[in-house]
């Protein structure tokens, strides 16, 4: 989870530095996907507890 978070932040910052290029946008989108995956992994145990009740 930490690796996904760090990769997501670094890809977003690196893509942001490529302002005006479409590849920068693609890199930022991959970074956002990594951040969302880390958030999903973090929230999975909490979602399972709600389903059991």
Q: Please state the domain extents for the chain.
A: 2-52
CA angle 51, 8, 16 (to 5 degrees): 135
- At residue 45, the pLDDT reads 84
- pLDDT tens-digit map of 12-51: 999 999 988 899 999 999 999 999 999 999 998 888 666 6
Q: Work out the pLDDT band at 4, boundaries 50, 70, 90.
A: very high
């Amino acid at each position: 989870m930490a690796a996904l978070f760090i990769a997501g932040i670094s890809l977003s910052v690196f893509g942001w530095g490529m302002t005006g290029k479409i590849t920068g946008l693609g890199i930022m989108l991959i970074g956002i996907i990594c951040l969302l995956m880390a958030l999903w992994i973090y929230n999975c145990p909490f979602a399972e507890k709600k389903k059991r009740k």
